[in-house]
Amino acid sequence: AIPTKRSPLKPPPTPLTPPPQPRNPNQTPQRHTMASAYDREDGLAPPQPHGGGPADAYDPNYVPDSVKTFVVHLYRHIRDKNVYEIHQMYEGGFQRLSDRLFRDTPWPSAEAVAPYCDGDHVFLLLYRELWYRHAYARLSPLTASHRSESWNNYCDLFSVVLHGVVNMQLPNQWLWDMVDEFVYQFQSFCQYRAKLKNKTEDELQQLKQFDKAWNVYGVLNYLQALVEKSMIAQILEREKEGLESFTATDGYDYQGGSNVLKVLGYYSMIGLLRIHCLLGDYHTGLKCLAPINLNQQGVYTIVIGSHISTIYHYGFANLMMRRYVDATKEFNKILLYIIKYKQYHQKSPQYDQILKKNEQMYALLAICLSLCPQNKLIDENVSTQLKEKYNDKMTKMQRFDDEAYAAYDELFSYACPKFITPSPPVLDQPLTNYNQDAYRLQLKLFLYEVKQQQLLSGIRSYLKLYSAITITKLAQYMEMDEATLRSILMTYKHKMHAVDSNGKILSSADFDFYINEDVIHVVESKSTKRHGDYFLRQILKFEETIAELDKVQLD
């Protein structure tokens, strides 16, 4: 039996389904009007189990007793706004049933479980969202029709949130996963659509039929509409003045209202950052995230997946815009957080993804520190892990020869997002795969930036040895003429400065210099020594040692 512990967020039961509301074409995009397979008598067959098998191996209308119980209890808890129990069933019950009963097959259709939730429209939209997410994770391959049906379901679900009155509270984890999955399925569809070479005639016909599904403008419009309708930017602004308590309540509404629109709007800002990074528009991505203050705890830090995704894409966008200091600071903070707390997430379904993003961010941090050394910003524990993983490669990247470019290429290719080309293919031309085109373009731009900085490492090495040196003498050391040296010094000034989000020009170099009468004067920045951190680390080490000694039993 499912436990009945009550959440403090439980008002009297209210129906989930709002009154029917027409869609507003000014706020949400047009979408493919074909009804989903669930709404048609001749609905498409569900995806085949992984590894093939007969079509009748899966009966979409058969509902095991454990699934009936799950649906009945989940529906009741959502009606009761019992966030604690919803979270337990979402994080635990759904995963356990998937592992036990639906490892290689879909869940029962929404039509089949409808009798166990009074046919509630909103609940069935949520159920279908879980159904398609399970299909994406466990089943292969998915056809264009299934991808289109999932898009239609998201359109219906977000339209209800935007234009209806949603009387429910959902866990932040579920709401984050909803936005995260929405962006992932868009990314997955773009990659699927770009691999044309081995497509069958039927698959090409489906791409033509469902050409409106996962349109980039539609995806961006829905996320932007959630941000605007929720007024989350204004809420966060008022919170700075003490007029709101959004962060203090973790986004929940303790007055009997709903948290769905506000929290979806909040997470949609992170979703927009991610999409713009996939498109290579880093400036717009950072602008979308601007209302969230990353220097403070926020709702984005409550869910580990949201926390890591935010910092990963924020750091990557800053790296590509040459804001190396901002990227280094945030990578250092999140990597230190993962070192301390990853043990508590070992049983989480997201654990493998946490470890993967952890490794990718170490690679991006290695790139940042190779292009712009900022060792004073790195915590001792993070620095130790970084040296263990990439010390050899970072040594190579300082030389700027063929091996250095190969190291930059390897780390960037491993750690970058899976870039997408959002435009639909031209199916009348000879069919080729173009799913790697966006990645190759971003790699080319990144390596071009690296090449421009190839002589800056040598300049940095010499200038850190002197407080003053003549241009003539430095040119002799670097075996070049004075005009070329002046050009490289100007390049260093340019590359080590970046424009922040407020339009201010900031230096990211660990030292500065100026030229007066052909003499270069070096001004090295002095880092503030943090004695408190050092003493705290030593105290913790001694306490651990004493605890170990206490366990030793002397004869």
List, for residues 419-465, the tens digit of each pLDDT value: 999 888 877 777 788 889 999 999 999 999 888 877 777 777 777 78
Residues 168 and 315 in one domain: yes
Within a domain: 225: yes
Does residue 359 sit in the same domain as residue 492?
no
On whether residue 83 sits in a domain, the answer given is no
CB atoms inside a 10 Å sphere around CB 67? 18
Residues 393 and 328 in one domain: yes
User: Which helix H or strand E contains 134, and what residues bound it?
Assistant: helix 121-138
Do 439 and 485 belong together in one domain?
A: no
Residue 13, domain member (yes or no): no
* Any domain includes 366: yes
Distances 25 to 9, 28, 366 between C-alpha atoms, Å? 34, 5, 46
Has residue 89 been placed in a domain? no
Angle, helix 216-230 to helix 144-163, in steps of 10 degrees: 20
pTM of this structure: 0.81
What does the pLDDT look like over 173-229, one tens digit per residue?
999 999 999 999 999 999 998 888 888 888 888 888 888 899 999 999 999 999 999
Residue 91 dihedral angles phi and psi, to the nearest 5°: -75, -35
Q: pLDDT at position 109, please?
A: 94
Report the distance separating Cα 228 and Cα 232, nearest Å.
7
Q: Which residues contact 418 (CB under 8 A, 6 or more apart)?
A: 187, 191, 278, 439
Number of neighbours of residue 392 by Cβ within 10 angstroms: 10
Residue listed under structure tokens 């004695």: 531
Torsion angle, alpha carbons of 345, 83, 235, 223, to 10: 70
Asked whether residue 296 is assigned to any structural domain, the reply reads yes
Query: End-to-end alpha-carbon separation of the chain, Å?
Result: 51
Does the N-terminal peptide bond of residue 424 adopt cis geometry, omega within 30 degrees of 0? no
How many domains does the chain contain in total? 3
Sign of CA pseudo-dihedral 394, 396, 401, 405: negative
Asked if 542 and 504 sit in the same domain, the reply is: no
The ranges of the chain with pLDDT < 50 are 1-15, 17-56
Shared domain for 190 and 300, answered yes or no, is: yes
Q: Are residues 441 and 471 in the same domain?
A: no
267 and 228 within one domain: yes
Do residues 361 and 405 share a domain? yes
Same domain, yes or no: 341 and 198: yes
- In this structure, are 507 and 535 located in the same domain? no
Would 395 be classed as within a structural domain? yes
**Do 546 and 424 fall within a single domain?**
no
Is 499 in a helix, a strand, or coil? strand
Residue 157 belongs to domain spanning: 141-446
Within a domain: 473 = yes
